[in-house]
Amino acid sequence: MGMSYMVGFGSKFPKKIHHRGSVIPSLDTHPQHVGCRDGDKFFKSDEPNPNVLTGAVVGGPAFDDSFQDSRSIITQSEPTTYINAPFVGVLAYLNKPTIT
């Protein structure tokens, strides 16, 4: 698909991730109180998240290599630690010092 599954990396990355802090607008643009269930209207919006969660790694493509940039498809659009942990482990391995 020619895209990155790390938010903010490259020119094509997920814009509608399943993350409350990224979905609800900041106080600068929406100073009104947002109650517990008031965020649903932002979650159900087709607009990209107003707050870019740079560096978050989402679930990625489905088994058929498709990716729908949709907050409601949690397995593809939610950033979680169990998704990020293997990625960080690989980077740590590649960065290990060589002992001679």
Q: pLDDT per residue over 16-65, tens digit each?
A: 999 988 998 888 888 888 888 888 888 999 999 999 999 888 988 999 99
Count structural domains, the chain. 1
Contacts (Cβ under 8 Å, ≥6 apart) of 53: 7, 8, 17, 19, 21, 22, 79
- Domain with 38, as residue range(s), is 1-100
Model pLDDT, residue 10 = 92
Per-residue confidence (pLDDT) for residue 76, from 0 to 100: 92
B/e letters for 16-50, b = 16+ CB within 10 Å, e = fewer, are bbbbeebbbeeeeeeeeeeeeeeeeebeeeeeebe
- Please give the mean pLDDT across all residues of the chain: 88
Choice among 33, 40, 64, 69 that is catalytic: 69
Q: How many CB atoms lie under 10 A from the CB of residue 63?
A: 5
18, 40, 46, 65: the active-site residue: 18
Is residue 18 among the annotated active site residues? yes
Q: In this predicted structure, what is the pLDDT of residue 100?
A: 66
Catalytic residue, candidates 19, 38, 65, 78: 78
Query: Is there a catalytic annotation at residue 46?
Result: no
